[in-house]
């Protein structure tokens, strides 16, 4: 576990080591079972503060509120799109840094069950500086702590929007509930804290989200991928590829200059070979830049013959961007070309265009605006007719 202390700045309850919490409780004469009681209660969807943990003595609730933050999120602004199926939040942290998360509901289709996916951030900003990404263009702020990562999920866990999922309710196992590290930041440039956050999310005494319902996405940090093989073998890996040759990827994903395509996909192959888990190759399609059939053929060559699939994502352009997303017909032609080589291909649903749902866009839109505080979050999330 990460070395956490109980000194300022205060820890959020979501990241406190059970042994430290047990010692804190024992010093107050509380029985041993209080540790699991506090952690389970703090992760209930109905709990908005320690005062809501009514199975605890009133004095203990007050002491907990004095020692720990119930959430590291100081305020949130939420916008909703797609008939309520997509909601995006900008969260303000204690030091004023802001990060984004997105909740997406997917209705049942054919044999596929309805599912809910929460996309979360791992850093405030990003240093990778992909030119088509609003977060990359905004620059890097700082690393997020495990609690600041987990509390993005807990925001939605306590939100009325989560209840809109047709087949999923907190505390049940009907439907699918997924976490993807595809928000602001490069997760594997914050690997220690991200790995700890995954363990916290997976903890059955907290949220208990299955490891196979968690995906870590990377732009190609090879040492971090190799760490995942050893430390998070049950978690899914996604690689943001976005180009099928090094010259173009150097421009679109500058980290390619350090870890080129061969090294990145070599690490992906090792992950797939050791874990038996299929790797997702994420590919944002940009009109006239990386969407030619020649690129499709090269991508097919890179993806053929190993346990992976290609996920195509039409670009959600940022305001003022010189680039735009590939048209639907060209997306289909690109997908067909890759698929003809025997490579599994999916096309990601484009969500939330009217609420600036691409990574970093809403954050930029709200720059300088005050966000509702914790006491106002529920009011702020009530749908407006």
Q: What is the pLDDT of residues 148-164, one digit of tens each?
A: 999 999 999 888 776 54
Predicted local distance difference test score (pLDDT) of residue 174: 39
Tokens of 7: 């000194």
What DSSP element (H or E) covers 39?
helix 34-42
Q: Which of 275, 276, 269, 336 is nearest to 303 (CA)?
A: 269
Residue 368 has pLDDT above 90, yes or no: no
Query: What CA–CA distance (Å, rounded) separates 111 from 61?
Result: 46
The 10 Å Cβ neighbour count of residue 111 is 5
- pTM of whole model > 0.85? yes
Model pLDDT, residue 8: 37
Q: What is the structure's pLDDT at 81?
A: 84
- pLDDT of residue 190 exceeding 80: yes
Q: Find where tokens 């700890």 sit.
A: 196
Going by pLDDT thresholds of 50, 70 and 90, the confidence category of residue 223 is very high
Q: How far, in Å, CA of 248 to CA of 60, rounded?
A: 58
Tokens (6 digits) for 356: 């600036």
Cite the residue boundaries of each domain of the chain with CATH code 3.20.20.70. Answer: 73-380
pLDDT score of 200: 96
The total number of residues written for the chain in this structure? 385
| Structural tokens at position 58 | 């009133």
89-98, 265-274, 321-330: least confidently modelled range? 321-330
Mean pLDDT of the chain: 86
pLDDT band for position 352 (cuts 50, 70, 90): low
Range of weakest confidence among 91-100, 129-138, 210-219: 129-138
- pLDDT of residue 171 exceeding 60: no
Answer whether residue 353 shows pLDDT above 60.
no
**Which whole number is the average pLDDT over 273-283?**
98
- Percentage of the chain exceeding pLDDT 70: 84
pLDDT score, position 46: 87
Whether 183 shows a pLDDT value over 70: the answer reads yes
pLDDT on residue 348: 86
Match domain 73-380 to its CATH number in 1.10.10.60, 3.40.640.10, 3.20.20.70, 3.40.50.10420: 3.20.20.70
**Is the CATH number of domain 13-67 1.10.150?**
yes
Active-site amino acid positions: 100, 359
Residues of the chain with CATH 1.10.150: 13-67
Q: What is the pLDDT of residue 242?
A: 97
Mean pLDDT over 199-219 rounds to: 95
Instruction: Classify residue 367 by burial, with Cβ atoms within 10 Å: 0-12, 13-18, 19+.
Output: exposed
What is the rounded average pLDDT of the residues 328-348?
Answer: 96
pLDDT at 378 over 60: no
Residues 6+ apart with CB under 8 A from 271: 225, 228, 229, 237, 277, 279
> Is the preceding peptide bond at 9 cis, omega within 30 degrees of 0?
yes
CA distance to 181, 207, 352, per residue, from 86 (Å): 17, 22, 6
């Amino acid at each position: 576990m990460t070395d956490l202390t109980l000194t300022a700045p205060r820890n959020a309850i979501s990241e406190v080591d059970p042994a430290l919490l047990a010692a804190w409780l024992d010093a107050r004469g509380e029985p041993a079972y209080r540790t699991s009681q506090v952690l389970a209660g703090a992760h209930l969807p109905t709990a908005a503060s320690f005062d809501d943990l009514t199975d605890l003595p009133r004095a203990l609730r007050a002491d907990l509120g004095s020692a720990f933050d119930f959430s590291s999120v100081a305020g949130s602004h939420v916008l909703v799109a797609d008939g309520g199926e997509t909601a995006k939040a900008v969260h303000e942290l204690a030091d004023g840094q802001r990060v984004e998360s997105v909740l997406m509901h997917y209705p049942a289709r054919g044999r596929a069950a309805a599912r809910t996916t929460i996309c979360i951030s791992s850093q405030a900003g990003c240093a990778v500086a992909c030119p088509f990404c609003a977060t990359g263009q905004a620059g890097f702020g700082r690393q997020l702590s495990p609690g600041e990562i987990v509390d993005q999920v807990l925001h939605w866990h306590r939100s009325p929007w989560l209840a809109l999922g047709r087949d999923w309710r907190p505390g049940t196992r009907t439907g699918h509930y997924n976490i993807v590290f595809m928000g602001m930041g490069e997760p594997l440039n914050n690997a220690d804290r991200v790995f700890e956050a995954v363990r916290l999310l997976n903890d059955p005494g907290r949220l208990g989200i299955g490891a196979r319902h968690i995906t870590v996405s990377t732009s190609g940090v090879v040492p971090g991928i190799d760490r995942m093989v050893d430390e998070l073998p049950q978690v899914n890996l996604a690689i943001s590829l976005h180009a099928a040759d090094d010259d173009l990827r150097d421009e679109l994903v500058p980290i390619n200059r350090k870890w080129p395509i061969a090294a990145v996909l070599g690490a992906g192959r090792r992950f797939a070979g050791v874990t038996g888990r299929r790797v997702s190759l994420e590919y944002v399609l940009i009109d006239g830049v990386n969407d030619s059939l020649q690129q499709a053929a090269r991508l097919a060559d890179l993806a053929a013959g190993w346990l992976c699939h290609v996920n195509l994502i039409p670009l959600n352009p940022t305001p003022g961007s010189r680039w735009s997303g590939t048209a639907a017909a060209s997306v289909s032609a690109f997908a067909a070309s890759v698929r003809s080589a025997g490579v599994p291909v999916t096309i990601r649903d484009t969500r939330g265009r009217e609420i600036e749902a691409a990574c970093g866009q809403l954050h930029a839109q709200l720059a300088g605006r005050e966000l509702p505080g914790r006491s106002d979050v529920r009011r702020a999330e009530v749908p407006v007719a």
